[in-house]
Structures are given as C-alpha cells and as structure tokens.
C-alpha cells in the first residue's frame, strides 16, 4: 500500500523544508530487493558520486554496482554489475566540466539498463546540460531539444531536474519531467546565514532575471532593484539578435518589395533601478558560469552604496577563471547548491559556499517509486521561482 503522506500545517516554503529535514521518518530504510528499485551513479569520479552518496544515505539504500570508465581510445564503457530486471532504476548524473562525456555516460547507462529489462529508468539530472541552447539563434539549432530526443531514445522514461534555465524546456520531452526548485533552500540560507538580512535588497543583474528576483523579494518582504543597460558593446550583442540577420552587401531585392526598416537595438548606459545605498545587495540568478557580468554588477552596486554583496544561484558551474575573478572582486560571498560538482573551485576561492539539496532529490525519488503525489514538493512555489 502507498505510504500515507504526513501533512504539515501551512507554513512558508523554507519552513516546509525545515520540517522535511527535521523528520527522518520521511526517508524510511527501503530494502532494494524488496521494494524493487536501485540508485546508480552514471559517473565513477569521486566529485560526481558525492551527491549520489548523499541521496542514497537519506534513502537508506546502497548505491548500485556499476563501472563507468573511458577506454584508451576515448570511448565510454558502462558495465552493470547486478540484476535490474523489473525494477525502477534511478540514474544520478551530475555534470562536471566535461559535459559531452557526462552526456554519453548517461545515454550509455540508460541504454544498458533498458537492454537489461529495467521496468522504469528515471534520470536524476540536477543541472540539465545544454539548457542555454533552447532557442533558435540565426542558423544554429535547438540542441536542448536534440538532447531530449536522445535521452528518450536511450530508454529514459522520466526525468527529475532542478531549475531549468527555461521552463519551456519541459515541452521538449515525450515523457514526464519534474522540475524541482532550489529557492526554498536559498531563501532559508538568507534567513539563517546572512546577518541583518532585513536590511537587504534583492537585485536582478538584468531585466531578464527580474521575475526571479521579485519572487525572492516578495517572500522575504524585502526591496527590489534591477540593473539595466550595459557599459559597452559586448560579444553577447550577437546572441540577443540586435545584429541579426547580418548585413548583406549587394543583396537582391524583389522589384516592388519594400519592407519597413527595423531599427537596431541599443541598450542605454548602465543604471540601477532601485535604492541600494547603505543596504546588503543579494544578486539572484539560476546559473553562475562566466562571472564577468556578476563582477561588473557588484562594482556598480558598490558605487551605488551597497556595503555587502552576495550572489546566489542554483547551479554553480564556475568555469575558467571564475574562482580567481570572484576572489578579486567586490563580491563578499557566492552561494550555490551542489547540483554541479565545484569542490576544486571552493579550494581556490573561500568565498564560495554550498547549500545541500540532496534532501528534496531523495524525497522526489521516494515519492516517484512509491507512486505518491509530487505536489508536496511544490507547495507555495510559483512559476517565477
């Protein structure tokens, strides 16, 4: 029989997840052979299996026996070392710096489990790769849609992910997708770890991030500021379409066809909409990868009078020289979750802090396996979170 859902009184989102953490009974020890499920890690490196180990510890289960390695010619090989016939299989894949290898590991493991007659194959992919390539750019392609099709072909029947870069990505899949949110954990961090957070203001580093920032500000009952414009023309101009399509010399025009000329985009000088003087500035976003834009935003906020600056994001990819740039910048602290391995970056920059989200992932696994509703994990969560 399905486990009875323990209902809690209506509290704030952060209080709900405090309650989940406080009741270990929510994660009963589940005998894999009896309940028919297994949890595998699609990567054998220590950094990538850390999250998988945290999840299995909360579930009271053992990590499935498998071997994932690269042959001398660069090919990926996966070997499943135990029977999975007729069972629900959860594949946990965190995405390290070598994104393409991680994708191949996931695809090959899913296909191996499919051919081994697993009943359901659920991918637990906290950070979904290629999520920034979810829109058509000039003569490019929507790579995220291609990856969704590949995962379905490999045998996946369900995906658990967190804070997709564009929520419309869920429509690329032919099977269910549970897009969990990290905002309750980040909100809890603000309330418990940032001294005098009542004197803070939530900042969106661009108008695109304004909805997310507004959601944080409304939940914390804080003010909102938005950084708008840019200091100078950058390479990102090509990405937002202001120079698309490119100018073509001696273009042939059909006689009598005179289309109205579209004016080129031009962003105004950088400005801060909102008061940050004498306040703590908390910049929120979903991904922090190349940190130049965050460093520039911090400098502007310092000039406007903010005396302490935090950056909070779900996915801390922190590529290239990100740790060094953060360490040398006006940013006081960068808070990210452990959806992506970043232990090396933390050693290089003590300003980087980690929030553990294995709690919600393990609860999602338990509910899916037991056939319980996922609505409890989305309590008080809106589309903008």
Residues 122 and 200 in one domain: no
Render each residue's pLDDT in the chain as its tens digit; 385 residues: 444 444 444 445 555 556 555 554 445 444 444 458 999 999 877 778 899 999 999 999 999 999 999 999 989 999 999 999 999 999 999 988 789 999 999 999 999 999 999 999 999 999 999 999 998 888 889 999 999 999 999 999 999 999 999 988 999 999 999 999 999 999 999 999 999 999 999 999 999 899 999 999 999 999 999 998 875 544 454 455 555 555 555 556 566 677 787 777 777 788 899 999 999 999 999 999 989 999 999 999 999 999 999 999 999 999 889 999 999 999 999 999 999 999 999 999 999 999 999 999 999 999 999 999 999 999 888 777 7
Q: State the pLDDT at residue 7.
A: 44
Residues 212 and 305 in one domain: yes
> Could you say which of 142, 161, 180 is where a domain stops?
180
**Cα distances (Å, whole numbers) of residue 257 to 51, 260, 263:** 59, 10, 18
Residues 202 and 336 in one domain: yes
Does a structural domain hold residue 276? yes
The β-bridge partners of 271 are 228
Split into its structural domains, the chain has a count of 2
Residues 164 and 207 in one domain: no
Q: State the pLDDT at residue 20.
A: 58
Q: Where are the beta strands (DSSP E) in the chain?
A: 37-41, 66-70, 76-80, 88-92, 120-125, 158-162, 177-180, 200-204, 223-228, 271-273, 280-288, 308-316, 333-337, 352-355
Q: How far is CA 26 from the centre of its chain?
A: 25
Does a structural domain hold residue 220? yes
Residues 149 and 218 in one domain: no
The CATH number linked to 293 is 3.40.50.2020
Residue 114: give the domain boundaries: 38-180
Does a structural domain hold residue 163? yes
Q: Is 235 exposed, middle or buried (0-12, 13-18, 19+ CB in 10 A)?
A: exposed
Does a structural domain hold residue 252? no
Residues 53 and 87 in one domain: yes
Residues 133 and 214 in one domain: no
Does a structural domain hold residue 30? no
Q: How far apart are CA 221 and CA 213, in angstroms?
A: 12
Model confidence, pTM: 0.83
Task: Give residues with Cβ within 8 angstroms of 289, minimum separation 6.
Answer: 317, 318, 319, 322
Does a structural domain hold residue 314? yes
> Could you say which of 141, 163, 180 is where a domain stops?
180
In this structure, what DSSP letter does residue 138 have? T
156 three-state secondary structure: coil
Determine contact, residues 228/206, Cβ cutoff 8 Å. yes
Q: How far apart are CA 87 and CA 89, in angstroms?
A: 6
Q: DSSP labels for 209-231?
A: GHHHHHHHHHHHT-EEEEEES-S
Structure tokens given for 14 = 């952060």
Helix (H) or strand (E) holding 298: helix 292-303
233 three-state secondary structure: coil
Determine contact, residues 38/374, Cβ cutoff 8 Å. no
Does a structural domain hold residue 204? yes
Q: How far apart are CA 58 and CA 23, in angstroms?
A: 11
**Cα distances (Å, whole numbers) of residue 348 to 318, 322, 338, 339:** 11, 10, 17, 19
Residues 308 and 281 in one domain: yes
Residues 169 and 130 in one domain: yes
Residues 94 and 211 in one domain: no
Residues 134 and 223 in one domain: no
Q: Which long-range contacts (CB under 8 A, 24 or more apart) does 275-278 make?
A: 275/201, 275/223, 275/225, 276/201, 276/203, 276/225, 276/301, 276/304, 276/305, 276/306, 277/304, 277/305, 277/306, 278/199, 278/305, 278/306, 278/307
Residues 188 and 105 in one domain: no
Q: State the pLDDT at residue 165.
A: 92
Task: Give residues with Cβ within 8 angstroms of 92, minimum separation 6.
Answer: 39, 40, 41, 42, 51, 52, 55, 124, 361
Does a structural domain hold residue 239? no
């Amino acid at each position: 029989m399905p486990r009875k859902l323990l209902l809690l009184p209506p509290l704030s989102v952060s209080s709900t997840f405090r309650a989940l953490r406080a009741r270990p009974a929510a994660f009963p020890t589940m005998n894999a052979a009896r309940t028919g499920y297994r949890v595998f890690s699609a990567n054998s490196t220590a950094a990538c299996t850390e999250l998988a180990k945290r999840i299995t510890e909360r579930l009271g289960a053992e990590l499935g026996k498998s071997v994932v390695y690269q042959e001398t010619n660069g090919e990926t090989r996966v070997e499943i070392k135990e029977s999975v016939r007729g069972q629900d299989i959860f594949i946990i894949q965190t995405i390290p710096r070598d994104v393409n290898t991680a994708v191949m590991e996931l695809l090959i493991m899913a296909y191996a489990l499919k051919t081994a007659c697993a009943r359901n194959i659920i991918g637990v992919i906290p950070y979904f790769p290629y999520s920034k390539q979810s829109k058509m750019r000039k003569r490019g392609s929507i790579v995220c849609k291609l990856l969704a099709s590949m995962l379905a072909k490999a045998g996946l029947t369900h995906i658990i992910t967190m804070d997709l870069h564009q929520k419309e990505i869920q429509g690329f899949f032919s099977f269910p997708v549970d897009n969990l949110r990290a905002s309750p954990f980040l909100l809890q961090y603000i309330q418990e770890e940032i001294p005098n957070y009542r004197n803070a203001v939530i900042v969106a580093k661009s108008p695109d991030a304004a909805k997310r920032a507004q959601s944080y500000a409304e939940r914390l009952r804080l003010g909102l500021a938005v950084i708008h414009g840019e200091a100078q023309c950058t390479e990102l101009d090509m990405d937002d379409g202001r120079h698309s399509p490119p100018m073509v010399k001696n273009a042939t025009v059909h006689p009598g066809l005179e289309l109205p000329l579209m004016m080129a985009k031009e962003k105004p000088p950088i400005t801060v909409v909102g008061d940050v003087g004498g306040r703590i500035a908390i910049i929120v976003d979903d991904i922090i990868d190349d940190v130049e834009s965050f460093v520039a935003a911090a400098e502007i906020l310092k000039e406007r009078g903010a005396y302490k600056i935090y950056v909070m994001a779900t996915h801390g990819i922190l590529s290239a020289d990100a740790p060094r740039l953060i360490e040398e910048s006006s940013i006081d602290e960068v808070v990210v979750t452990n959806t992506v391995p970043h232990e090396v970056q933390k050693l290089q920059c003590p300003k980087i802090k980690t929030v553990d989200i294995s709690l919600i992932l393990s609860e999602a696994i338990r509910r899916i396996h037991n056939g319980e509703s996922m609505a409890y994990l989305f309590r008080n969560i809106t589309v903008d979170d």
